[in-house]
């Protein structure tokens, strides 16, 4: 069998056991890799040292987390006998950015339940068009923009009484002068706490990097602050 290196792979069920009609082609998961055989070898390994839901086997962990959410029995190994695995392998997939673009395109089309990221965004399948549209923006730049966007909203709030002379410091358990060093630190601590909730829980922005990267206006429009 020819060794597959750079590829995007699609894992589907043979029979519809865990997927539903909204998961097209009974697709469970879509991934990309620079060494398909090695990736499948890793997925074949069992990990008895951890609870099934936090296994070091990435695919098994994602599968069990999904099974737990839909109230199905957890698995101790990947049920390869129940799965079909297809690969897309062509020369342009050696381009790391394009390989991830194709992965995202397929995720948005097939809606696999085990993929949480890349479910939103505009992905280009045509390589020439992709190279024309490609912008090099990193996840670190994304997080920086998220924080800047939140800070702008936070400091525009009118309900936080910015003109008050003092602010309560939960760390010290008392009021401190807003313009003092500890007052400034209190403001930053309050902001950090609110930001973490806004980023992680309210908007789940760790899943929306590709939406921000490919459709910024929709990303901005979808943001919730309360």
DSSP codes joined into one string, 37-53: HHHHHHHH---TTS-GG
Same domain membership, residue 74 and residue 150: no
Q: What is the pLDDT of residues 11-64, one digit of tens each?
A: 999 999 999 989 999 999 999 999 999 999 999 987 666 667 778 889 999 999
Average pLDDT over residues 153-182: 88
Q: Which of 37, 30, 84, 24 is nearest to 59 (CA)?
A: 30
Q: Is the pLDDT of residue 98 over 70?
A: yes
Please indicate, yes or no, if residue 49 is contained in any of the structural domains.
yes
Final residue in a domain of this structure, among 103, 131, 159: 131
Q: Is the pLDDT of residue 132 over 70?
A: yes
Residue-averaged pLDDT of the chain: 90
Q: How many domains does the chain have?
A: 2
How many angstroms separate the Cα of 61 from the Cα of each of 2, 22, 65?
A: 29, 22, 6
Average pLDDT over residues 68-85: 93
Final residue in a domain of this structure, among 74, 102, 131: 131
Q: Is the dihedral of CA 109, 112, 115, 116 positive or negative?
A: positive
Let me know: does 46 contact 57? Beta carbons within 8 Å: yes
Q: Looking at residue 224, what is its pLDDT?
A: 95
Q: Is the dihedral of CA 53, 112, 222, 219 positive or negative?
A: positive
Where does 26-178 show beta strands of DSSP type E? 27-33, 83-88, 166-169, 174-177
Q: Looking at residue 4, what is its pLDDT?
A: 73
Q: What is the pLDDT of residues 177-194, one digit of tens each?
A: 988 999 889 999 999 999
């Amino acid at each position: 069998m020819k060794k597959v290196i750079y590829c995007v792979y699609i894992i589907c069920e043979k029979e519809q056991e865990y997927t539903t009609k909204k998961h097209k082609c009974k697709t469970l998961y879509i991934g990309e890799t620079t060494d398909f055989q090695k990736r499948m070898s890793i997925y074949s390994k069992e990990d008895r040292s951890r609870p099934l839901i936090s296994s070091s086997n990435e695919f098994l962990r994602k599968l069990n987390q999904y099974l737990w959410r839909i109230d199905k029995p957890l698995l101790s190994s990947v049920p390869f006998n129940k799965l079909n695995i297809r690969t897309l392998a062509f020369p342009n997939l050696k381009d790391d950015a394009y390989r991830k673009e194709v992965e995202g395109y397929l995720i948005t089309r097939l809606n696999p339940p085990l993929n949480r990221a890349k479910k939103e965004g505009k992905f280009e399948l045509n390589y020439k068009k992709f190279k024309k549209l490609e912008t090099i923006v990193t996840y670190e730049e994304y997080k920086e923009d998220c924080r800047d966007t939140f800070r702008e909203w936070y400091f525009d709030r009118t309900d936080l009484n910015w003109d008050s002379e003092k602010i309560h410091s939960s760390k010290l358990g008392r009021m401190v002068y807003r313009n003092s060093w500890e007052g400034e630190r209190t403001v930053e601590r309050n902001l950090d706490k609110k930001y973490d909730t806004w980023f992680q829980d309210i908007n789940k922005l760790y899943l929306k990097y590709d939406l921000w990267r490919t459709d910024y206006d929709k990303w901005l429009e979808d943001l919730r602050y309360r």
